[in-house]
Amino acid sequence: MDGTIRVCPSCGAKNRIPPDKQHLRPKCGRCGTALGPAAGSVVEVGDHNFQQVINSTDKPVLVDFFSPTCGPCRMLAPVIEKLAAMYAGRALICSCDTSRHQMVPTRFQIRGVPTLIFFKNAQVVDQVVGAVPEAELVQRLNSLL
């Protein structure tokens, strides 16, 4: 069977999450505790959960504002996924689809994509517009650790 196995932080039960359900907020089948995002994965944020995700961590957060029809955004996507794996447990890497969620991009005055915003303690500390090299993103993330 395909899927990811996640261990519940409350009761220790193993839970299989099918690939097509990874983006949903999975709960433990035994006790109902939220399992949260898999370590090393990009967390999808939008109008419904943006503030909750940003406020729920003391780690630096990188949010990639993108559009699925944007060529540079598609080129940057594998870099964002790689950063999520590299910084698992040290930083939170998120993505926000601007074609589906308009409130959050409007709040941060996103005019073009890709736009990457760096947060520390739920405050904006840096911003990059355009597809930038991986090394530059690594340098900016390291400065926030």
pTM (two decimals): 0.77
Q: How far apart are the first and last CA of the chain?
A: 37
CATH of 43-144, one of 3.40.190.10, 3.50.50.60, 3.40.30.10, 3.40.50.300: 3.40.30.10
Q: What is the pLDDT at residue 35?
A: 79
Reply yes or no on whether the pLDDT at 1 is more than 60: no
Q: What is the pLDDT at residue 109?
A: 96
Residue positions annotated with a catalytic role: 70, 73
pLDDT digits (tens, 9 = 90+) for 14-42: 988 876 676 667 888 999 888 766 667 88
> What mean pLDDT comes out for the span 43-58?
88
The rounded percent of the chain whose pLDDT value lies above 90 is: 60
The C-alpha atoms of residue 99 and residue 69 are separated, in whole angstroms, by 9
Q: Where are the CATH 2.30.30.380 domain residues in the chain?
A: 1-36
> What mean pLDDT comes out for the span 101-126?
97
Q: Closest Cα to residue 68, out of 48, 96, 106?
A: 96
